[in-house]
Amino acid sequence: MGQGVLFKDNNGPVHIETDRRVARSSVLGKLIEIIATAEPALVDLTREPAEIEKKIQFNDLTTHRWIIQQYVENALLVDSSVTQLNKMVNSGSTKLKRQMKLFYWQALAQFGISNFPDDLQKLKTHSDNVVAKVLTLTGDFVRSSSDLQSGYFDEDIEFGVVLITSYSIIECIVLENPNDHN
């Protein structure tokens, strides 16, 4: 009998990782530090948000519509938290939006959505799946962050992930702004 693992009827990639590495310096890691501390190019990620209901309808968001409601109910908490983030981290909200945009693009790629405005109908078909993927990517990223030490409940993390994602939708970082497609 041979060694290895057999996945019967597997339709996707399987990645099993055993981490036996010792943390070492790397050129790639050093480059990431340089990029992270550099003055960012003046890319304006602030956009004139669309009216909320118009955006929901434009993107055909249905099953994840409740995420928007979470933002509406907690807008003051989100806004004050983003203000505090900017005080703690230079260009914190810009870095947050940039990361959420990356999650959005990864989610779009998973569903083969890449060419706007041609793929707009495909986005509308998969908008709820795209939001679900952004939630998953955000949650996984946050849970693996070394900044989150013990003492935080999973419920707090889940709530925060929903608020961050809803903020990104409202700010037109995740999903499309109808004002851009007129």
Average pLDDT of the residues in 129-155: 85
Total-model pTM: 0.76
Q: What pLDDT was estimated at residue 164?
A: 93
Average pLDDT, the chain: 82
Kindly tell me if the per-residue pLDDT of 175 is higher than 90: yes
Phi, psi of 40, deg, nearest 5: -70, 150
**What is the per-residue pLDDT across 60-71, written as a single tens digit (0 to 9) for each?**
999 999 999 998
- Does a structural domain hold residue 18? no
* Domain limits for position 124: 27-181
- Does a structural domain hold residue 31? yes
Q: What pLDDT was estimated at residue 133?
A: 97
Q: What pLDDT was estimated at residue 143?
A: 83
Please state, for a pLDDT cut of 70, what percent of the chain lies above it: 72
Q: Which long-range contacts (CB under 8 A, 24 or more apart) does 44-53 make?
A: 45/94, 45/97, 45/98, 45/101, 45/171, 45/173, 46/171, 47/171, 47/172, 47/177, 47/180, 48/177, 48/179, 49/170, 49/171, 49/172, 49/177, 50/172, 50/177, 50/178, 50/179, 52/170
Residue appearing with tokens 């003051």 = 76
Kindly tell me if the per-residue pLDDT of 154 is higher than 90: no
Choose among 123, 82, 85: nearest CA to 104.
123
**Number of domains comprising the chain:** 1
Kindly tell me if the per-residue pLDDT of 75 is higher than 70: yes
pLDDT-derived band at 181, boundaries 50, 70, 90? confident
Give every CB contact of residue 3 below 8 A, 6+ residues apart in sequence: none
- Does a structural domain hold residue 11? no
Average pLDDT of the residues in 152-169: 89
Lowest mean pLDDT among 15-24, 125-134, 173-182: 15-24
**What is the per-residue pLDDT across 7-51, written as a single tens digit (0 to 9) for each?**
777 666 666 666 665 656 666 666 666 666 666 555 555 556 668
Kindly tell me if the per-residue pLDDT of 136 is higher than 90: yes
C-alpha dist (Å) from residue 134 to 7, 102, 128 = 27, 9, 10
